């Protein structure tokens, strides 16, 4: 295990060196007056941005490593550069399109957090309230050693154990990937894992936090979490290619295919049963729809200004209430968004006014050991590289 971590660290370090060389060769010289790219851009010459050398280099590097596809959309004050690399389906060789759908992964949490914070705005939910006020079942399912607040769920400081460890002990990875989990079933599995500490102020990433939040939202709204996101976010914003569906749609013509080898067998992990409907990782979307969501959020279309400030209040590990934060070198401010890793690595960053944005995603090479225990992206050097590239590209858009 230690040797593996050393290898991953060295791979990231080598990538940082290569990234620095690309930046030095012109990736930061990204003037809005430059000539736009030709056929590869999905936008017309009047509104297109020039291509991002950092993103372009990274995308080709991922394809060389075996990634089936990479998609990206960058937006700056009404101008856009978007590009798709690779194949939607490696079996058919169908070229990928920017409008093709991907697993949004942890970006799901920003959307669920918005729905929770809408309830806070309406006075139906309190950030400092104990979860037992709304979801008393947490006592039987997760056996918390002390009070858990709504805020601590949103910023991953509750200490809740997560389910993957228990799931992988109970069944082999292939069976686990093909196993659907309801909210109650997922939390019951998480409840079999011991709590590692009783200090509820420490950051500990756990998808279980957002399963509990979804259970609260469903109780207070009287509808499934996917329907709530539809009515509160996806439909009002015209996010027509985004859903948190209760059933998979693997045969859809616009779904990028992702694969993994398990026990010598290649498994289609584009919409694994394990993630279908997950309020922590399960949204299916496009890079365009993801940018639409974060722009609307930052520009005040989804929450009041005071609630958005609360959402942006950062605790440990640069996590807020369903948001992550990165330094914005252009303004000495911050980018907000989220990144996560399933069988896709996805990330989205937006300036605090929504004027500059990037959303990127790629399907992992099929020989990457993903399974279900690394859905937060930890330990995946490719995800760390994606994050570095996204931040570097944004800092080149001043």
Question: Hey, what are 206's tokens?
Answer: 């756990």
Q: Give ∠ CA 14-15-20 in degrees, rounded to 5.
A: 100
Cβ atoms of residues 82 and 72 within 8 Å? yes
| Residues 222 and 306 placed together within one structural domain of the fold | no
- Residues 378 and 391 both lie in one domain: yes
pLDDT at 295: 97
3-state secondary structure of 45: coil
State whether 391 and 280 are in the same domain.
yes
Beta strands in 342-380 (DSSP E): 344-351, 356-363
- Both 95 and 118 in a single domain? no
Indicate whether 100 and 123 sit together in one domain.
no
Strand partners for 101: 255
Domain assignment of residue 328, given as a range = 2-107+252-262+269-395
Number of structural domains in the chain: 2
User: Is residue 346 helix, strand or coil?
Assistant: strand
Residue 371: its pLDDT value, please? 57
- Do 115 and 219 lie in one domain? The reply is yes
Q: How confident is the model at residue 256 (pLDDT cuts 50, 70, 90)?
A: very high
Residue 234 lies in a domain: no
Is 121 inside a domain boundary? yes
Q: What is the CATH number of the domain that holds 22?
A: 3.40.710.10
Find the mean pLDDT for residues 115-127: 98
Q: Which has more pLDDT, 375 or 268?
A: 268
Residues 391 and 348 in one domain: yes
Is residue 361 assigned to a domain? yes
- 257 and 383 together in one domain: yes
Same domain, 384 and 277: yes
Both 281 and 352 in one domain: the answer is yes
Answer yes or no: is 242 within a domain. no
Which residues, 6 or more positions from 118, have their beta carbon under 8 angstroms from its beta carbon? Answer: 232, 302, 303
Residues 274, 358 share a domain: yes
59: confidence class by pLDDT, cuts 50, 70, 90: very high
- What are the strands of the beta sheet with 69-76, ordered from one edge? 94-95, 79-89, 69-76, 356-363, 344-351, 333-341, 324-328
**Residue 337, phi-psi category: left (phi > 0), alpha (psi -120 to 50), beta (remainder):** left
Mean pLDDT, the chain, integer: 86
Query: pLDDT value at position 7?
Result: 42
Check whether residue 149 and residue 45 sit in a common domain. Answer: no
Is residue 232 a part of any domain in this protein? no
Q: H or E segment at 18?
A: helix 2-22
On whether residue 201 sits in a domain, the answer given is yes
pLDDT the model gives residue 49: 84
Q: Are 342 and 275 in contact (CB under 8 A)?
A: yes
Q: What is the pLDDT of residue 376?
A: 61
Provide mean pLDDT across the span 223-232.
98
Q: Does the pLDDT value for residue 53 go beyond 90?
A: yes
115 within a domain of the structure (yes/no)? yes
Least confident of 9-23, 26-40, 176-190: 26-40
Whether residue 22 lies inside any domain: the answer is yes
- Least confident stretch, 30-39, 71-80, 293-302, 360-369: 30-39
DSSP string, 178-203: T----HHHHHHHHTTSPPS-S-TTS-
Strand partners for 69: 86
């Amino acid at each position: 295990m230690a040797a593996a971590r050393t290898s991953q660290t060295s791979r990231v370090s080598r990538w940082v060196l290569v990234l620095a060389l690309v930046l030095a060769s012109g990736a930061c010289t990204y003037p809005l007056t430059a000539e736009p790219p030709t056929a590869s851009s999905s936008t017309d010459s009047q509104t297109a941005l020039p291509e991002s050398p950092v993103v372009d280099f990274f995308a080709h590097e991922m394809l060389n490593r075996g990634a089936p596809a990479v998609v990206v959309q960058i937006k700056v004050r009404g101008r856009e550069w978007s590009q798709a690399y690779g194949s939607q389906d490696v079996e058919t060789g169908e070229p990928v399109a920017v409008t093709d759908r991907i697993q949004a992964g942890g970006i799901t949490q920003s959307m669920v957090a918005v729905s929770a914070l809408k309830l806070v705005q309406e006075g139906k939910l309190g950030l400092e309230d104990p979860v037992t006020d709304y979801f008393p079942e947490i006592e039987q399912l997760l056996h918390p050693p002390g009070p858990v607040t709504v805020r601590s769920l949103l910023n991953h400081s509750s200490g809740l154990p997560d389910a993957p460890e228990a799931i992988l002990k109970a069944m082999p990875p292939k069976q686990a990937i093909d196993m659907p989990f309801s909210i109650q079933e997922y939390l019951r599995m998480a409840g079999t894992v011991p709590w590692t500490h009783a200090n509820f102020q420490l950051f500990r990433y756990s998808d279980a936090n957002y399963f509990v939040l979804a259970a609260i939202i469903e109780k207070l709204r009287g509808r499934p979490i996917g329907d709530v996101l539809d009515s509160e976010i996806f439909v009002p914003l015209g996010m027509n290619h985004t859903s948190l569906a209760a059933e998979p749609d693997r045969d859809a013509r616009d779904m990028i295919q992702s694969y993994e080898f398990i026990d010598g067998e290649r498994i289609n992990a584009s919409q694994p049963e394990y993630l279908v409907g997950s309020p922590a990782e399960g949204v299916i979307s496009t890079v365009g729809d993801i940018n639409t969501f974060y722009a609307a959020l930052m520009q005040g279309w989804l929450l009041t200004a005071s609630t958005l400030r609360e959402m942006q209040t950062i605790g440990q590990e640069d996590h807020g209430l369903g948001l992550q934060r990165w330094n914005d070198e252009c303004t000495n401010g911050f980018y907000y968004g989220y990144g996560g890793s399933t069988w896709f690595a996805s990330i989205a960053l937006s300036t605090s006014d929504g004027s500059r944005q990037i959303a990127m995603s790629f399907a992992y090479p099929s020989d990457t050991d993903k399974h279900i225990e690394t859905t937060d992206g930890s330990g995946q050097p490719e995800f760390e590289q994606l994050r570095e590239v996204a931040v570097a590209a944004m800092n080149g858009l001043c």
